[in-house]
Chains A and B, each alone.
Chain A
Amino acid sequence: MSSIAFVSVSKRYGEVNAVSQLDLACASGEMLALLGPSGCGKSTTLKMAAGIEAVSSGEIYFGERPVSHLAPGARNIAMVFEDYALYPRMTVWENVAFPLKVRGITGQPAAQRIGEVLQLLGLRQMAEQDVRGLSGGAQQRVAIGRALVRDPDVILFDEPLSHLDADQKVQLRAEIKRLQKLRQVTSILVTHDQTEAIAMADRVAVMNHGVLQQVGAPQDLYEHPANLFVANFIGEPPMNLMEATLAEGGRVVGAGWSTRLGSARLGTLPAGASVIIAGIRPENIAVRGPDAAGEARGTIVYREPRGDADILTVALDSTGEAAVKLIAEIPGPAPWRTGDRVTLGIDEARLLVFDAVSGRNREVVP
């Protein structure tokens, strides 16, 4: 096992910066997720770690060892691909045996290791089957078996669940996590699906346009996003982001709503009035009757029932231009219906303050 560190790693394709000045570390035995929209540089980062793509500048370390000049085969890594990349015309057993065969490990020691891995993945019964006949989930398990069988220092997962059905996805998600913890293999997982990243990874690194936005435990990213991109990308339904003015004494005023920040937080915020973007998670908005006290009043314009929760879209009463719409997530089934007048309670302790210009969270330094 070994840790991985990217030090000022960049990748350029001609004029395009696919990855810029990436500094990122993954501890030994840890699972780190690279999360971001397509084209954000996460796959490129993974391929640089694998050695399939060369590094334009910077260095990648496995433990103390710089590896960016090493061929993929010399890095002792295994990779699990989005579309499995199993060798066609080979059985399950032969596919898993392949990495051992390449290293000249055959006979009894090989058979024992292959048997163990197949057992671990529940593939024993399918050992003699041709891989082309298997379901997507089973094929991906074979690919994971092929990765595990030779005890690599690092396993790289490149969107391993993207092509699977929903039920297989959930099943394999738990499976990968279990195996990764069991074997204590340092792993990097690339995904565009935040649910996957949060469910599987110890820490999540969010990337956008080739730049690392924030890295931290899933809960940290959720509660203290470093900037508007992370705030918006993580969480479903997404965070409400509203323009507002931060006045003296911690008073925050937006179109159709206002609140006051607790005095404890004021010390960390710059003094004086300024324009900000205020962020609040849908579940941190309380919905009350029209006559109750609260920070905003409005009308429900859309209700999306989800069984255990109701997602309400509320248009705030406003004097000016287009009404601000807030999304509230409350335990369901709730009595509110489209057209109802409501009062919203905005939990000021959960209100995030972002700089209107730079988009940075004013309180959290990434």
Chain B
Amino acid sequence: MAEAQSRPEGSKALLWTSVTVVYAAIMLFPIFWMASMMVKPNDAMFARPTQFLFMPTLEHFSYVLEHGFHWYLLTSFLLCTVSTALVVIIGTPAAYAFARFEMRAKDDLFLFILASRMAPPVCLVIPFYLIFAKVGLLDTFLGLTLAYMTFNLSFYIWVLRSFCRDLPVELEEAAALEGWSKPQIFRRVVFPLLRNGIVATAVLCFIFAWNEFLFAFMLGGRAVQTLPVSIPKLITSQGVRWGEMAVVGMTALLPVLAVVFVLQRHIVRGLTLGAVKG
């Protein structure tokens, strides 16, 4: 009886597992392919029939290092970290204020903040360019940081405001009755409850900034080059350097994966916030 029951159960589970494995394999194949290209000699790159066995080479790595791509990686990393940190520092109190306080023209102000994210980036990059050219922020690290901060701030405030709204207001009222000031309540009651939401949203902002191409390309110029901007340099007059492209591409992928893995716990909790109640 038990066996008769478990058999269809078992075969169903097997079916699902195989479907999942096949799906994962399809999804991951390009990444495996790219990984293999990192160490593939150029003459084996597009050989027909495809060569699965080849003598691995490190020449792509040395080319990438010789041409200073590690500096682009550093630029990208600093730019994204600094701009995301600024977004969190400025955006968290702003989101809380939008969620909790009464102020004049609150809805209009909020829409204004959202609007800067709604317009396609292409529309914004030209005004940004003109303004930056005027004030001398073109081709500077600071300028690009400000640009990234601007487009991530609206997203961050928007998302975190809903996290703030989900917090029970009674907790803050109870703390107010104990004699705490608003800043104290924010720091010691609200902030600890918001932590997961902040981490989840900040990770998204970091990834947006990491993947960004257009602003970095237009506003960074030759002085501040991020990883996404540097990749097209590998399309040279002598041909496309596929191996080097694979190396840089994989390098671009790793920090994002690392961030998500390390902060996974917070992100999952952040995305399922509301569990703070009761």
Contact = CB atoms under 8 A, between A and B. Distances in A.
A79 B172 CA distance: 12
Chain B binding surface SS class: helix
A72 interface: yes
B195 to A, nearest CB: 11
Contacts of A102: 178-180
Contacts of A72: 173, 176-177, 179
Contacts of A52: 173, 176-177
Contacts of A82: 170
B178 A73 contact: yes
Nearest to B192: A89
B131 to A, nearest CB: 39
B179 A81 contact: no
Nearest to A139: B278
A243 interface: no
Interface residues of A, number: 26
A81 B168 CA distance: 11
Contacts of B278: 83-84, 132, 139
Contacts of A89: 192
A84 B168 CA distance: 10
B174 interface: yes
Given A81-B170, A83-B168, A87-B171, A98 B276 contact: no
B126 to A, nearest CB: 42
A142 B179 CA distance: 20
Interface in B184-203: 189, 192-193
Interface in B146-192: 168, 170-171, 173-174, 176-180, 189, 192
Interface string A28-53: 00000000000000000000001110
Contact of A99 (B171, B178, B276): B178
A79 B171 CA distance: 11
Contacts of B177: 50-52, 72-73, 75, 77-79
A157 to B, nearest CB: 13
Given A73-B180, A102-B180, A81 B277 contact: no
Interface string A140-157: 000000100000000000
B66 to A, nearest CB: 52
A199 interface: no
A79 to B, nearest CB: 5
B171 A98 contact: no
A75 B277 CA distance: 28
B193 A88 contact: yes
A74 interface: yes
Contacts of A88: 193, 276
A85 interface: yes
For the complex of A and B, 9 pairs with smallest distance between CB atoms: A73-B179, A85-B170, A81-B170, A72-B176, A85-B174, A102-B178, A72-B177, A85-B171, A52-B173
Given A73-B177, A85-B173, A103-B179, 19 more contacts: A51-B176, A52-B176, A71-B176, A72-B176, A72-B177, A72-B179, A73-B176, A73-B178, A77-B177, A79-B173, A83-B277, A84-B278, A85-B168, A88-B276, A89-B192, A99-B178, A102-B178, A102-B179, A139-B278
Interface of B: 168, 170-171, 173-174, 176-180, 189, 192-193, 276-278
